[in-house]
Structure 1
């Protein structure tokens, strides 16, 4: 497939940014933490600092936005259409929706400079921050606070499985290696419940939460740990019925996707993007499809602490080597 000219231009610009980042890695950065070598975290807030060199800042005439690939991107492109119009008017420039098919592709797009704003799933947020320079700044919420989700272990309602222990020796779909609720949380939480992934059951990666859900429905998998919000969205749209599944386990609350901008956008543009998100009143149709009626401020250091803790307890590292290894598993 031929690459569209605008995206090719973004890719070229991204290569230039990465080359500049390599040189930056050789400077006197006082703290880098877990960030990739091209970034610096002098203020120790766990995200990449905005470059101080004006030549490394970006102010694109067209902003590219992508939503986390939990389901068919076309569904979310339609849901986000009103917001795309608002954001375009608010930042006074064109904003386009960029459909991505995997977490790895989304992270690489921001890392290469082709993606400027994105909603990342809870688990991949960590890779996006460390490897792509993503700076999380917002989450969906309502007047009670942020909208959360739970890990649910689902089986077909007519199956014989009544408890987690019944799944020993079975074929269970995890979503992707970097997913929080679809992989990392099960690996961190299930062993204490007597069910250790890859030891007590065979892990098969489905790729996405919707594919895990549909796979359980079709009988391709015996069970699947999935995100409660994706399951609810698919139920609301009539893709699946609530009585088709039995839930054997429900975790505590995790954050939903984080909205982030690329670290090297000009500071004034960063501030404008945040204002545009925070000022937006999510319309009813979009709220029904996503959850939450507004965007609330967050920081990666504070609001993603639980996700990082779960990942660490599952033995996950958010490095380039781990990212490539996870991508190779799919």
Structure 2
């Protein structure tokens, strides 16, 4: 009897040893750009985390990561602490150039191209003056007062500065120096947003400002209904999804397809918390296609990335 029990015990051990063990789950870290309190973002990110895990299958463990800054997202990609990131175009370009990351998706957003509302991965911005302004061209604004939303705004500052250089109104800066708008304008104001610049223009505090096709619809129409457009610049890129070079196939393709699925209308309100308030979907792309114009603007203006001004998530980057 004892011998039989011993054999049964040994056979049980053998079967346990031979039984297939569950495969270890692959950890996938998704970094999102910081737009409000980290604790609140992590709480709101749980549905996104769960949805991605459902799409990717039981072998992938998704973790949402919120660095304290967009520069922190770049570093996380560079050192393998993040595999996927939702980023603004300027920070996304830095991730490509400094962290060896790759752009895989561009945000499709609700924007205006002139008077037409459309869904696109790009938009334009416009120099505007009051309808009764005596100025008919940018050249006539030398020595006048200008308002810009932010010194790192792609549409509100970087593109407009590149346009002034293209028009020969500002000199291209020397190596190691940034473009200086005060070399053309007599007074320069960074107001913190397009709405604030519009208020400054209405109040007569400045002579010219910039409005972009990705601001809230009400603001866009209000500005264009009461101003004249002197000049435009673009195309200006929307937000991007970048992946680390450490994210290899076949998981890379699975991740891209899972993220494409989040462009469905039922996920729109969720994604607008983490991409932009204008998000409607994703489109496959690469850095040269989507960020080529921005790279050219930066090469012309020598503007360096800085988080001196926190940019909101509602558009107008």
Please say whether Structure 1 and Structure 2 have the same fold, judged by a TM-score greater than 0.5: yes
In proportion to residue count, which structure has more strand?
A: 2
Question: What do you get for the CA RMSD once the two structures are aligned?
Answer: 4.3
Q: Which runs of 5+ in 1 are unaligned?
A: 1-58, 317-321
CA shift, 1:151, in A, is 2.0
Residue of structure 2 aligned with 1:261, choices 235, 239, 243: 243
Larger radius of gyration: 2
- Cα deviation for residue 175 of structure 1 reads 1.9
Q: Is the 8 A contact 2:77 2:101 kept in 1?
A: yes
Give the superposition deviation at 1:86: 2.4
Specify which of 30, 44, 47 is matched with residue 64 of structure 1.
Answer: 30
Q: Residues 249-294 of structure 1: CA distance to partner in whole angstroms, max 9, x if unpaired?
A: 4323332111111222343332221121233443264388644643
Using the alignment, how far apart are the partners of 2:128 and 2:81 within structure 1? 37
Question: For residue 84 of structure 2, what is the aligned residue in structure 1?
Answer: 117
* Superposition deviation, residue 198 in structure 1: 2.7
Q: Contact conserved, 2:211 with 2:220, CA < 8 A, in 1?
A: no
What CA distance in whole angstroms lies between the structure 2 residues aligned with 1:267 and 1:296?
20
8 Å Cα contact 1:65-1:118 kept in structure 2? yes
Aligned equivalents of 2:211, 2:220: Cα separation in 1: 15
Residue in structure 2 matched with residue 252 of structure 1 by the alignment: 234
Q: How far, CA to CA, are the matches of 1:182 and 1:272 in structure 2?
A: 36
- Count of residue pairs brought into register by the alignment: 251
Q: CA deviation at 1:109?
A: 4.0
**2:61 maps to which residue?**
93
CA distance in 2, matches of 1:73, 1:151: 31
Do the aligned partners of residues 193 and 72 (structure 1) sit closer, same or farther apart at CA in structure 2, a change above 3 Å counting?
Answer: farther
Structure 1 residue 137: deviation in Å?
Answer: 0.2
CA distance change for structure 1 residues 241 and 173 in 2, over 3 Å: closer, same or farther?
A: closer
Is residue 147–residue 292 contact of structure 1 (8 Å, CA) maintained in 2? no
2:203 counterpart of 1:228: no
Q: Alpha carbons of 1:226 and 1:124: their partners in 2 closer, same or farther (altered >3 Å)?
A: farther
Whole-angstrom distance in 1 between the partners of 2:169 and 2:39: 36
CA distance 1:145–1:64, change in 2 (3 Å)? same
The corresponding residue for 1:303 is 290
Aligned counterpart for 1:150 among listed residues 99, 112, 124:
124
Q: Which runs of 5+ in 2 are unaligned?
A: 1-24, 110-117, 171-180, 311-317
Give matches, 1:100-139, under 5 Å. 103-139=70-106
Q: In structure 2, do the counterparts of structure 1 residues 254 and 77 end up closer, same or farther at CA, with 3 Å as the change threshold?
A: farther
